[in-house]
Structure 1
């Protein structure tokens, strides 16, 4: 048995749960054990990407002690588009 963390963040709320799992437990199994899906029924693991410490992971990935599983939300805006918008705003501010 060992401990892992499950992280899920919304714009106004961050959830970080520590759970104890058995050796051989996978990412998917740990998320189910955490009951996070009961709290947030909108999480669809068939569509959401997951990772361990910021690196994408397959749901069948076996866990190691002290891993942090992250459930990612879909992007609201593509990072390149966000940078372009910020650059336009700065350019307008500079011109005035």
Structure 2
């Protein structure tokens, strides 16, 4: 069976590898056979997140022919926290419905 492995070790850098594996191969064994667990030791941590075609799977997931196995990096910043910090910096008047208001109009219109 043929699968595709994808991983982005750093921003704006994507690795893609096409592998021929035996039937019944799991996601974890595919990473081992590709040699990525030795090259990138942080992939072996329990916090590792894997997906097949964008759907989250575990390391024991059995792959099928034509699958695209994706390895996801952990987020460096929580998106909710980042949004809150941006809002504090911009202030309430510079965001949302009130950002581009015509002169002389009522608030929110």
TM beyond 0.5 = yes
| Alpha-carbon distance, 1:89 to partner | 4.3
37-46 or 65-74, larger mean C-alpha shift: 37-46
The equivalences for 1:46-85 within 5 A come to 46-85=46-85
* TM-score of the aligned structures, taking structure 1 as reference length: 0.81
Distance 1:48 1:17, change over 3 A: same
> How many aligned residue pairs are there?
94
Larger radius of gyration: 2
Instruction: List gaps (5 residues or longer) in structure 2.
Output: 96-109
Instruction: List gaps (5 residues or longer) in structure 1.
Output: none
* Equivalent in the alignment of 2:38: 38
* TM-score of the aligned structures, taking structure 2 as reference length: 0.72
CA RMSD of aligned residues (A): 2.2
